[in-house]
Amino acid sequence: MEGRFAEELYAESLQLSKLELTSTSADDQENKANVCDGDDLSLWDESDDKLESSSDLDREWQRRHDQFHTIGYRDGLIAGKEAAAQEGFNFGFKQSVLDGHSWGVVRGVTSAFSHLPHQLKERLIETQKKRNELLGLYESVHSLSTTDCLRLFSEEIKAQEALEQSEHSEVSHHTAGLQEQPSHGSELRNYREQLESLIRDSPAIDIHLPKPK
């Protein structure tokens, strides 16, 4: 009888103790869940809100800016080029037309002379030596195409512009003067000078070769 009661008493106590533990554990879990949910929500809300207000809006503004700025730039570039085209062309044209003309006269004189009847050649240039020189000059000049001449002229222009730039940057006039003296003897200029020399010695040919500049 006593033994049985003791068993009953202990069993009941043990059971109560278990229930308490379970209840506490459940409460703890619930609390954690709440805290976790709350944090997640607030974090999510905040981060989402920030993304929406700063990154997205900035990206949208930048996208629109780039789009319209690019379209405007392209239109402006075309308009600017059109506005400058005539002025630029005229400037370049005037830089080269007299040189081209001077060279063309050399071409024309040497070509026309080489195709004259022999007796006229003899009367225009009396010495055989000088006639041969002029005909030799014709061969040299004739062998250059306009493309060749443009290339030679282009090199001349570049050299001249490079010289002008170095002059501007030069402090000493003396040095600049020295640099100027050995002026680039261009091929075209040499041929023109040869022709000038031949014509000077032949009074029958009354030609005034135009100076390039």
What part of residues 28-67 is at the interface with other proteins (CB under 8 A)?
64-65, 67
Shorter beta-carbon distance to other proteins: residue 117 or 185: 117
- 104 C-beta neighbours (distance < 10 Å), count: 13
**According to CB under 8 A, which one of 32, 50, 59, 69 is a site residue for other proteins?**
69
Minimum distance of other proteins from residue 167's CB (angstroms): 19
Q: Which residues neighbour 194 within 8 Å (Cβ) at sequence distance 6 or greater? A: 133, 137
Q: What helix, strand, coil percent values describe the chain, rounded to 5?
A: 85, 0, 15
Q: CB–CB of 109/195 below 8 Å?
A: yes
Shorter beta-carbon distance to other proteins: residue 96 or 186: 96
Shorter beta-carbon distance to other proteins: residue 26 or 71: 71
**According to CB under 8 A, which one of 68, 127, 164, 211 is a site residue for other proteins?**
68
Minimum distance of other proteins from residue 62's CB (angstroms): 10
Provide the token pair at 64: 């629109």
Instruction: Report how far residue 178's alpha carbon sits from residue 17's, in angstroms, rounded to the nearest whole number.
Output: 113
Between vectors from CA 108 to CA 152 and to CA 104, what angle results, nearest 5°? 35
Instruction: Report how far residue 117's alpha carbon sits from residue 146's, in angstroms, rounded to the nearest whole number.
Output: 27
Shorter beta-carbon distance to other proteins: residue 59 or 142: 142
Give the footprint of other proteins on residues 114-173 (CB under 8 A): 115-117, 120, 123-124, 142, 145-147, 149-151, 153-154, 157-158
Stretch that binds other proteins, among 12-20, 21-29, 41-49, 204-212 (CB under 8 A): 204-212
194 counts as binding other proteins under rule CB under 8 A? no
**According to CB under 8 A, which one of 92, 162, 178, 211 is a site residue for other proteins?**
92
Shorter beta-carbon distance to other proteins: residue 118 or 174: 118
Give the footprint of other proteins on residues 72-91 (CB under 8 A): 72-91
Nearest to 199 by CA among 120, 110, 136, 112: 110
Instruction: Report how far residue 188's alpha carbon sits from residue 170's, in angstroms, rounded to the nearest whole number.
Output: 29
In this structure, what DSSP letter does residue 181 have?
Answer: S
